[in-house]
Amino acid sequence: MSESVSVEPIEVSAGEKKDLLDLVDEQQALRATRKLPPEQVPKILLPYQIRWHLDQANVRIAEKSRRIGWSWGCIAAEGALEAAAEHGMNQYYMGYNMGMAAENIGDALTFARAYGMACSAIDISREREVIGEKRQDITRFRLTFASGHIYEALSSSPWNWRGRQGHALIDEAAFHRNLREVIKGALAFLMWGGRVDIISSHNSEENDFFDLIRDVKTGKLPTWSLHHIDFDQAIREGFFQRICLVTGREWSKKAEQAWRDEQYASYPSQEDANEELGCIAKRGSGAYFTRMLLEQCMIDGVPVIIWSKPGEWVTDPNRLAETDIWIKDNLKPVIDNMTSHRSVYGQDFGRSGDLSVVDVLQQRDPSRWTMAFRLELRNIPFDVQAKIRDYILKNIPMLHHAAFDARGNGQSHAEGALQLFGQARVSCMMATAQMYMDFFPKYKQCLEERSFLIARHEDTVSDHRRVVLRKGNPTMDDGHDKGADGQPRHGDSAISGLMSFIATLAAGGMIEYIPIPSKDDRYWGNDDLELGSKGAY
């Protein structure tokens, strides 16, 4: 029996509208093209973008590299033109998070101005979608053109197509939670002369988007039009030359090759680079957190404090005294500089083989947690880590809650915090496959909504990319990466991020958990274990 669905409008306060419009402006401020005179904007479209504009097929699907200007020069450029035309149609853009919607509506407005087309300012509305017992608020960004057509950017949900007709624009399709249903709902537009675009980079072979590309290539969907543009092809068609034009760099073939190699080298593995840039889907499990998602939640200026010691320091009789001095010189100034807002603490514990990573965040506005600082400890003895833990928890402003990865060696560390601060302030999390299933989707949604802002750092990206889908559920894979310090990492800041997110959920009491396998089991993939009895510290 299908679940009942209802949609009702809800009010967006003036303050929140301002915040959302500020988000649009923030996204546009990152665009290098913002410096171009409006009349020059349409003139810099590249051959692969123009081919897309000339293709009038009812259903188009694009298998593309990241970072090549597709959302800007294909989706927004064409959508604004079609919405402005008297015989055009409404445009409905659907990314997988609010940040994408904010970016796209700003791009559409840029092109409307460049074309000299009359349209409204950006309007914001919200609806509450109720499906059975689930509730979800949907924010819509809208432009209204003199033609009477609208351009709307909204969040990913099959129900969002209801009551609408026009051109469906599904961006980064491989990363939508329910792609098959999203596409099924969009295809209803075709009955009344509408169009459907499905655009994405790859997200593993275990993905509906990969299956659709394969079906088009093998002739199973003969009416669908396929576009393929990988990073090297985009460069051959002038992509780097356009970057030089917009940014004022001097172009040369040598500079182009060096820039190309630099982009590939920025990925932690050749397999990752091939997937995101070369349009070659990974075999097996796909990364749960995309680079695009993580980058949109990263902010500059967050202190990242790193401390490491040689193995023999564990027996140094002066280590605790030295730690006091280190705390005074490194931690105290950062904590003293924190704002007077609620704070949370999350830690992934490591002793010798892995890092200890501590994330401290603050709720600086009602709907968003912002990272105040990150601490990374490598090869630091247990007693020293306990001293640092206690200093942070005692001194950060308005401690709301702390959550610890309490597996293996981390159990003693977490228990020490519990004994000192009590159940109301500390949760000791024993992460099982079930705990990952329960909390990783909520953490991901928080990032998608940009209500959890984290430090801008490449190690954060590589750590979170170690969270993969296995049998349809998020878990940690068994690989390691080389960090910025040249030392091995294994998803450390992904777990500290998850712990700090869990701490934000606490309402002053303990959080239940299910006991987990050891840290070695987590790292080497043995997470399909029988679940033990429930428990919580």
Torsion of CA 146, 115, 196, 474, to 10 degrees: -110
Angstrom distance (rounded) from CA 412 to CA 393: 16
Domain shared by 198 and 322, yes or no: no
227: its two tokens: 């576009």
Asked, for residue 247, whether it belongs to a domain, the answer is: no
State residue 2's pLDDT score.
57
Cα–Cα separations (whole angstroms), residue 191 to 93, 185, 188: 19, 12, 6
Same domain (yes/no): 319, 207: no
pLDDT digits (tens, 9 = 90+) for 292-325: 889 889 999 999 999 999 999 999 999 999 999 9
Per-residue pLDDT at 276:
93
Cβ neighbours for 233, distance < 8 A, ≥ 6 positions apart: 48
User: Does a structural domain hold residue 245?
Assistant: no
* Residues 82 and 223 occupy one common structural domain: yes
- Residue 377: pLDDT over 70: yes
**SS3 at position 117:** coil
Distance of alpha carbon 292 from alpha carbon 492, whole angstroms: 19
Sign of CA dihedral 255, 260, 264, 266: positive
What are 167-186's pLDDT values in tens digits? 999 999 999 988 999 999 99
Tell me, yes or no, whether 208 and 295 share the same domain. Answer: no
Domain with residue 443: its CATH number is 3.30.420.240
> Residues 358, 219: one domain?
no
pLDDT at 524: 34
* Residue-level pLDDT at 42: 67
Together in a domain, 493 and 383:
yes
Q: 236, 252, 275: which is the final residue of a domain? A: 236
Mean pLDDT of 10-30: 90
pLDDT band at 361 (very low <50, low <70, confident <90, very high): very high
Helix (H) or strand (E) holding 337: none
- Among 4-8, 260-264, 368-372, whose mean pLDDT is lowest? 4-8
Of 40-49, 113-122, 409-418, give the lowest mean pLDDT range. 40-49
Q: What share of the chain is helix, strand, coil (3-state, %, to 5)?
A: 45, 25, 35
* pLDDT at residue 203 greater than cutoff 80: yes
How would you label 294-325 residue by residue, b for 16+ Cβ within 10 Å and e otherwise? Answer: bebbeeeebbbeebebeeeebeeeebeeebee
**Mean pLDDT of the 509-526 span:** 40
Is 284 a member of any domain?
no
Angle CA 398–400–402, to nearest 5: 120
Q: Who has greater pLDDT, 175 or 205? A: 175
Give per-residue pLDDT as tens, 67-89.
Answer: 899 999 999 999 999 999 999 99
Indicate whether 343 and 210 sit together in one domain.
no
CA distances to 295, 302, 428, 457, 504 from 299, rounded to whole Å, are 8, 7, 28, 9, 19
Reported confidence tier of residue 340, pLDDT bands at 50, 70, 90: very high
The predicted pLDDT at position 509 comes to 42
- What was the pLDDT predicted at 10? 87
Residue span of the structural domain in which 330 resides: 291-523
The mean pLDDT value for 34-39 works out to 72
Average predicted confidence (pLDDT) for the chain: 88
CB atoms within 10 A of CB 261: 10
Burial class (CB in 10 A: 0-12, 13-18, 19+), 500: buried
Closest CA to 481 of 506, 499, 464: 464
**SS3 sequence of 454-486:** EECCHHHHHHHCCEEEECCEEEECCCCEECCCC
Task: State what percent of residues in the chain have pLDDT above 90.
Answer: 63
User: What is the residue-wise DSSP string for 165-176?
Assistant: -SEEEE-SGGG-
- Domain count for the chain, please give it: 2
Q: Is residue 122 assigned to a domain? A: yes
Percent of the chain with pLDDT over 70: 91
Cα separation, 507 vs 400, in Å, equals 8
User: What does the pLDDT look like over 417-469, one tens digit per residue?
Assistant: 999 999 999 999 987 788 898 899 899 989 988 899 999 998 999 899 899 88
Round to whole Å and give the CA distance between 63 and 172. 10
Domain boundary among 215, 236, 257: 236
pLDDT of residue 133: 67
Q: Quick check: is 259 in a domain?
A: no
Residue 356 above 50 pLDDT?
Answer: yes
CATH code for the domain of 138: 3.40.50.300
From 236, 260, 281, give the residue that closes a domain. Answer: 236
On whether both 227 and 351 belong to a single domain, the answer is no
Please indicate, yes or no, if residue 278 is contained in any of the structural domains: no
pLDDT score of 523 more than 60: no
Burial degree of 486 (CB within 10 A; 0-12, 13-18, 19+): exposed
Angle among Cα 8, 14, 18 to the nearest 5 degrees reads 110
Same domain assignment for residues 225 and 303: no
Is residue 529 one of the residues assigned to a domain?
Answer: no
Check: CB of residue 440 under 8 Å from CB of residue 495.
no
Q: d(Cα 140, Cα 146) in Å, to the nearest integer?
A: 19
Q: Where are the beta strands (DSSP E) in 11-87?
A: 59-64
One domain for residues 389 and 317: yes
Does one domain contain both 229 and 345? no
Does any domain span residue 387?
A: yes
- For residue 528, pLDDT over 70 is answered with no
- Say which residue the tokens 């390691």 belong to: 480
pLDDT at residue number 445: 87
Question: What confidence tens digit (pLDDT) does each residue in 86-104 have?
Answer: 999 999 999 988 889 999 9
- The answer on pLDDT for 129 being more than 80 is no
Q: Which two tokens mark 290?
A: 């995309």
Token output for 411:
């159990």
**Which candidate, 271, 210, 279, 212, places its Cα nearest to that of 477?**
271
Query: What pLDDT shows up at residue 431?
Result: 78
Using the predicted structure, report yes or no on whether residue 530 has a pLDDT greater than 60: no
87 and 21, same domain (yes or no): yes
Please answer whether residues 201 and 66 qualify as being in contact, where contact means their C-beta atoms are separated by less than 8 angstroms: yes
